[in-house]
C-alpha cells in the first residue's frame, strides 16, 4: 500500500468537490489545473484543515474515514502555504524549530544549509525577502519530520527572479527527499521541471492521474491541447562529441544530438520538447539542417478543432519515449498520417529542464 489515496466529496461555500485519487507515496506529484478547480481544497482536506465526506489514507495510516477524522496537528504533514506565513513574532530560528519534536541543532543547521537560510537564523521575518521567507517556510515544514509534504503554489507569490532563484533548491530537495510531495501548481514550466507524477483537475473533479510524461502527451487532456504543449523525456548523457561540441542523449527508443556540453557522461537529465518544435516526414529527409531526425510510430491523431492536429508518436516502436507533434490540418491532409504508421520525427529544439 505505498500510496496516498483519498476520496473527498462535498460542498464548501459555493464550491463542490468530488474527487477520488491514488498517487504514489514517493516523488513529486503535481496537482495541476486552472485556478478555482479545487486544488487547494484537496490539499486542505488532506491536511485536515477542511473536512469533507470521504477517506484519506497515507500508506496504511488512516487519517480520515467514515466517522473518523484526525485533527491536523496529529497528521504527519508538512504544509507550505502560498504566502510563507512565518510567525512574525519569532526569529527565523524559532520559526524553523517550532514544529520540531526535540530541538536538534545539527538537523536544523543541515536543513538551513540545504535551503540557504543559515545566515538568516537570527533575523525576524519582517526583514526577509519573499524568496527567503518561502525557503524558511519550506524548511520549517520539513523540520517537523512529515510523512508527506503538501505545497500550495509555493512560488506563485514570488516575482520571476525570486522564482528562478528558488527552483534549484526545490530540485535539490527532490533529489534528497525520501517523502512524497504533493505540489499544487498551474504553471506549466514549474510542473515540467519538478514533477514525476501528475494529477489533473478540473471543476472540482480529478480528470486524469498518471506519470508526468504520459499526462503531458495525453491528447484527451487540456495540457496537450494548450499552446505550450510539450513532451518530457528522461535522458541519460551517453557521450560527448568534442570536435563538434555535441552531447549524445539516450532516451527510450532513440539517441538525440544536442549542441553544447550538457553535463558529465552517464548523468541523467530531463529533456523538454515543445510540440510546435516537432515536425513529421513520411520518408527520411536527406537534405535538412535538423540534427535529430528519428524513426517513430504514430500512436494517435487528435483533432484540436482549430485547423490544427496533435500527433502523438513513440520513438522507435510503441514502447519508445512519447513525443507530441503539432501540425496543421493542411499538412495532415497532404501526407495522410494515420495511427500505427511508421514515420520520421524532426525535432527542431530540445532543452534541458
Residues that bind another protein (CB under 8 A): 47-49, 71-74, 77-79, 81, 83, 85, 87-91, 98-99, 101, 122-124, 126-127, 140-141, 144
| The three three-digit cell numbers of residue 346, written as one number | 524532426
* Least gap, CB of 33 to another protein (angstroms): 22
Instruction: CB nearer to another protein: give 145 or 252.
Output: 145
Contact predicate 318/256, CB 8 Å: no
* Least gap, CB of 284 to another protein (angstroms): 57
Instruction: CB nearer to another protein: give 54 or 78.
Output: 78
* Least gap, CB of 101 to another protein (angstroms): 7
Instruction: CB nearer to another protein: give 85 or 129.
Output: 85
Instruction: CB nearer to another protein: give 128 or 170.
Output: 128
Angle CA(222)–CA(352)–CA(226) in degrees, nearest 5? 15
Order across the sheet with 148-152: list the strands: 77-80, 148-152, 181-185, 28-32, 197-202, 205-211
Contact predicate 311/327, CB 8 Å: yes
Instruction: CB nearer to another protein: give 49 or 177.
Output: 49
* Least gap, CB of 80 to another protein (angstroms): 9
Instruction: CB nearer to another protein: give 96 or 347.
Output: 96
Tell me the three-class secondary structure of 87-135, residue by residue: CCCCCHHHHHHCCCCCCCHHHHHHHHHHCCCHHHCCCCHHHCCHHHHHH
Interatomic CA distance for residues 97 and 84, integer angstroms: 15
Instruction: CB nearer to another protein: give 147 or 187.
Output: 147
Interatomic CA distance for residues 16 and 351, integer angstroms: 39
Distance of CA 86 to the CA centre of its chain: 25
Torsion angles phi and psi, residue 206, rounded to 5: -85, 120
Interatomic CA distance for residues 230 and 11, integer angstroms: 35
Instruction: CB nearer to another protein: give 145 or 205.
Output: 145
* Least gap, CB of 30 to another protein (angstroms): 20
Distance of CA 63 to the CA centre of its chain: 25
Contacts 24+ apart (CB under 8 A), 104-107: 107/143
Q: Which residues contact 121 (CB under 8 A, 6 or more apart)?
A: 91, 92, 93, 96, 112
Identify the residue whose cell numbers are 530537495: 173
* Least gap, CB of 65 to another protein (angstroms): 20
Alpha-carbon distances, residue 247 vs 37, 255, 303 (angstroms): 41, 10, 35
* Least gap, CB of 111 to another protein (angstroms): 14
* Least gap, CB of 79 to another protein (angstroms): 4
Phi-psi region of 129 (alpha: psi -120 to 50; beta: other; left: phi over 0): beta
Instruction: CB nearer to another protein: give 116 or 263.
Output: 116
* Least gap, CB of 99 to another protein (angstroms): 3
Amino acid at each position: 500500500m505505498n500510496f496516498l489515496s483519498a476520496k473527498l466529496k462535498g460542498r464548501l461555500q459555493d464550491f463542490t468537490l468530488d474527487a477520488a485519487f491514488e498517487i504514489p507515496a514517493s516523488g513529486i506529484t503535481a496537482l495541476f489545473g486552472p485556478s478555482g478547480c479545487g486544488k487547494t481544497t484537496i490539499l486542505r482536506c488532506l491536511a485536515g484543515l477542511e473536512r469533507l465526506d470521504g477517506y484519506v489514507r497515507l500508506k496504511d495510516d488512516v487519517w480520515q474515514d467514515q466517522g473518523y477524522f484526525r485533527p491536523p496537528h496529529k497528521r504527519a504533514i508538512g504544509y507550505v502555504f502560498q504566502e510563507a506565513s512565518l510567525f512574525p513574532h519569532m526569529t527565523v530560528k524559532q520559526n524553523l524549530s517550532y514544529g520540531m519534536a526535540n530541538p536538534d541543532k545539527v538537523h536544523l543547521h543541515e536543513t538551513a544549509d540545504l535551503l540557504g537560510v543559515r545566515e538568516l537564523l537570527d533575523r525576524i521575518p519582517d526583514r526577509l525577502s519573499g524568496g527567503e521567507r518561502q525557503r524558511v517556510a519550506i524548511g520549517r515544514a520539513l523540520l517537523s519530520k512529515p510523512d508527506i509534504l503538501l505545497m500550495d503554489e509555493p512560488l506563485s507569490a514570488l516575482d520571476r527572479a525570486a522564482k528562478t532563484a528558488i527552483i534549484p533548491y526545490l530540485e535539490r530537495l527532490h533529489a534528497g527527499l525520501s517523502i512524497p510531495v504533493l505540489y499544487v501548481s498551474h504553471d506549466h514550466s514549474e510542473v515540467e521541471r519538478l514533477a514525476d507524477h501528475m494529477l489533473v483537475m478540473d471543476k472540482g473533479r480529478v480528470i486524469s492521474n498518471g506519470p508526468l510524461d504520459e499526462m503531458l502527451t495525453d491528447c484527451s487532456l487540456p495540457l496537450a491541447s494548450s499552446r505550450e504543449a510539450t513532451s518530457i523525456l528522461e535522458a541519460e548523457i551517453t557521450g560527448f562529441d568534442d570536435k563538434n561540441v555535441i552531447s549524445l542523449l539516450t532516451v527510450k527508443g532513440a539517441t538525440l544530438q544536442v549542441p553544447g556540453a550538457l553535463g558529465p557522461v552517464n548523468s541523467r537529465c530531463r529533456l523538454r520538447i515543445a510540440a510546435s518544435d516537432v515536425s513529421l516526414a513520411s520518408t527520411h529527409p536527406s537534405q535538412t539542417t535538423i540534427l535529430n531526425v528519428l524513426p517513430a510510430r504514430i500512436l494517435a491523431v487528435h483533432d484540436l478543432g482549430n485547423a490544427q492536429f496533435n500527433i502523438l508518436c513513440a520513438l522507435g516502436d510503441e514502447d519508445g519515449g512519447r513525443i507530441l507533434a503539432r501540425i496543421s490540418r493542411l499538412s495532415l491532409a497532404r501526407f495522410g498520417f494515420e495511427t500505427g504508421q511508421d514515420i520520421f520525427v524532426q525535432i527542431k529544439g530540445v532543452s534541458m529542464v
